[in-house]
Amino acid sequence: MNESAQHSLRGTALLNDPAFNRGTAFTREERRAYGLEGLLPPQIETLDRQAERALRHLDAKPTDLERYIYLSALVDRNETLFYKVLMSDPARFVPIVYAPTLGEACKAFSHIYRRPRGMYLSLEMKGRIAEVLRNWPVADVRFICVTTGGRILGLGDIGANGMGIPIGKLQLYTACAAVPPQTTLPIQLDIGTTNAALRADPLYLGLRREPPPQAELDAFVAEFVAAVQEVFPACCIHFEDWKGTDAIRYLEQYRERVLCYNDDIQGTASVTLAGLITALRIKDEKLSDQTFLFLGAGSSALGTSDLLVKAMQAEGLSQAEARARITMMDVHGLVEPSRADLSDEQRRYAHTAEPTRDLPATIRRVRPSVLIGVSTAGGAFTREIVSLMAEINVRPVIFPLSIPHSECTAEQAYAWSDGRALYAAGVQFPQVTRGEAVFRPGQANNFYIFPGLGLATYATRPRLITDALIIEAAHALADQVDVTAQARGMLYPPQSQILEVQITSACRLAEYIFESGMAQVDRPADIRSWIEGMTYSPAYDLAD
């Protein structure tokens, strides 16, 4: 047991500390030494036996939301057991602690709240953010996942209810890449919410006010970023689920100044690029020969497009040539120059064309080889649209990435394309059988990217996270889909192997960071053994 815990925690205080509590696994000697005698049942159990009981409890729960609530309670009382359960079957539990169940949990967050995790920094703390951050009990925080709750999983602005997102994201750093959990800190920046229904909810836990004007918000975020540099100087800031315009603005403002990234923009872009790399290997085609159509023109579409442009430039296209291969539509129609509502970032992809809201007509005109949905509009890819893509392309690439509701299901995509679609969604669909053919749809989910990127960052402490590193993360992932898997139409590695996949990606990213001169630590002789030596394993420390 940690030495400081031995001297400072005893009795019920020890049982109530999830980082050090091991419940029925405390030995007789430990029970006597730490004042636990009489506070626990007499049976002494192994971690495996405790996990067996937890899994039985989970099996008995009627819904995934109930399983989420159970797991939230478990991590609050025994962190080691929680990660033992999660890491025993990531394919089963990632969709519970993350999307899609996490979206349902966030909607109900204030109603299912049990006890605090992470930190809540509100506008009322302006001028004192560094002081408040010092209330966190861990000094060496390496990752902060921070949200305002302004745009959560297609749910819109849910304010402080968005805290479930940074909690869940950081749990995946550990569950999927074995980043030590004590180095992570979820933070909710509570700036109020535009959601009047939440403000009127008597159980809502956040500030009951509208968000501030942009200038005030910018000053608050600037204070937060500066405070992190002061209190946790080795920390990487992971921006998550901010309102689209804020997400783009703050990434551009801070990406060259501090160690940070935006997962909605860069993580989505990287995992999408990885799936495209694999799909194009199956088709034996180059990225720079593709034509892309996005349904959705927000921060995810723009970040993905910008990364695709850089990847196509690496294949020899000019920036203008690469941008010309990308067309966008959103709720207001085609992104084209006559629109007065476009941001500067959107105007980069505003190509001369007649205004239209007609997606099928745009497909006929543009003739895309790749159709990507980031619209949050479930069911937007209809039979007509998928059939058009299959008419234009022998192997249409269809990526409905919206969470929790995809633009089309895997079964629909395969049925409407006569089984020819190369498909990945933001959520995981079950395998689809058509006649004798079995299709294994991919999940273009960011958990294939950010945990491994996090582990590499934890190990090498780079000065910045660059787009080149994000592109390398995509290649590191795609290179782990072998030809046998490709022959089955798989665009991503199996989720059951996520820990091995992420450690392999982290090793490759670490090598890239060292070769690029970005690391702030010395390069080891054997990168993999060095990184594996830093990883977390859910196990109880041996008693002294």
Mark the binding-site residues for (S)-malate, compressed into ranges. Answer: 151, 445
Which residue among 84, 107, 169, 243 is the active-site one?
169
Report CA 53 to chain centroid distance, whole Å: 29
Q: What six digits make up the tokens of 143? A: 């990752």
Nearest Cα to Cα of residue 380 among 415, 331, 420: 331
Please check whether residue 252 is in contact with residue 228, taking contact to mean a CB–CB distance below 8 angstroms. Answer: no
> CB pairs under 8 A, 24+ apart, for 311-317?
311/273, 311/287, 311/471, 311/474, 312/287, 312/288, 314/471, 315/286, 315/287, 315/288, 316/288, 317/288
3-state helix, strand, coil in the chain (%, to 5): 50, 10, 40
Compute the distance between CA of residue 293 and CA of residue 57 in angstroms, rounded to an integer. 45
DSSP secondary structure letter of residue 197: H
Compute the distance between CA of residue 485 and CA of residue 440 in angstroms, rounded to an integer. 9
Compute the distance between CA of residue 182 and CA of residue 179 in angstroms, rounded to an integer. 9
Binding residues: 151, 240-241, 264, 445
Q: What are phi and psi of 143, to 5 degrees?
A: -140, 125
Q: What six digits make up the tokens of 543? A: 């008693």
Q: What are phi and psi of 94, to 5 degrees?
A: -60, -45
- Would you call the peptide bond into 100 cis, given omega within 30 degrees of 0 as the criterion? yes
98 is catalytic: yes
Which residue among 34, 98, 448, 512 is the active-site one?
98
Binding residues for a divalent metal cation: 240-241, 264
* Edge-to-edge strand list for the sheet holding 260-262: 119-122, 184-190, 143-147, 236-239, 260-262
- Between strands 184-190 and 260-262, the pairing is unpaired
Helix intervals (H) in 405-491: 410-416, 450-460, 467-478, 483-487
How far, in Å, are 68, 263, 312, 446, 471 from residue 277 at the CA level? Answer: 34, 19, 11, 16, 11
Write out the catalytic residue numbers.
Answer: 98, 169
